[in-house]
């Protein structure tokens, strides 16, 4: 998909505002991620040209850090913690259940654009393991059997919206 003109201008302005800095790549990508929610390949090329770095350097950063995304995320981002404390309390089964109920894999977004599932490493709520975070709201001690009702909660929100 081609980059919209207003988005292009915004991206160029972000690059421009950090151009004189010693290593602007990370901060530029962070701002773009925050502004647009993802960094597709076309945008990576633009950033590479503008900052005089190779596209593979940009791609390397975007794919290395979890914070960056190559694809648009859903309205609700479901983070299932697979950190040690959660993992030993069966969080893999919780992740499997989200994947089953939504019909997508971790890292994917549902076709209606509502849900993205992510597997995370420790979200700082180990005492509440297994923990799930949805747009920053933490769900404690989530059993796989609770997953359908959690999804319903958000589907209902969409119905009233």
Q: Give contact residues for ligand FES (rule: CB under 6 A).
A: 81, 83-86, 122-126, 129, 131
Residues 76 and 74: their CA atoms lie apart, in Å, by 5
Cβ at position 94, least distance to ligand FES in Å: 11
Of residues 17 and 84, the one with the C-beta less far from ligand FES: 84
**Residue 60's closest CA among 18, 26, 22?**
26
* Residue in 66, 46, 75 with CA at minimum distance from that of residue 58: 46
Closer residue to ligand FES in complex, CB, 127/161 = 127
Cβ neighbours of residue 21 closer than 8 Å, sequence gap 6 or more: 27
CB of 23 to ligand FES, least distance (A): 31
Shortest distance, position 118 Cβ to ligand FES, whole Å: 13
CA distance 55 to 45: 6
Q: Which is nearer to ligand FES, 86 or 150 (CB)?
A: 86
């Amino acid at each position: 998909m081609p980059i919209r003109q207003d988005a292009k201008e915004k991206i160029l302005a972000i690059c421009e505002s950090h151009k004189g800095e010693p290593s602007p790549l990370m901060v530029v990508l962070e701002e773009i991620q925050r502004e647009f929610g993802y960094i597709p390949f076309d945008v990576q090329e633009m950033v590479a040209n503008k900052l005089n770095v190779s596209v593979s350097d940009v791609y390397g950063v975007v794919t290395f850090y979890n914070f960056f995304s190559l694809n648009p995320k859903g309205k609700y981002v479901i983070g299932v913690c697979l950190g040690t404390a959660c993992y030993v309390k069966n969080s893999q089964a919780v992740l499997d259940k989200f994947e089953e109920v939504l019909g997508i894999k971790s890292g994917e977004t549902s076709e209606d654009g509502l849900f993205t599932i992510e597997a995370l490493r420790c979200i700082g709520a180990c005492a509440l393991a297994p923990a799930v975070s949805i747009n920053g709201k933490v769900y404690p001690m989530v059993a796989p059997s609770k997953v359908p009702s959690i999804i319903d909660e958000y589907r209902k929100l969409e119905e009233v919206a």
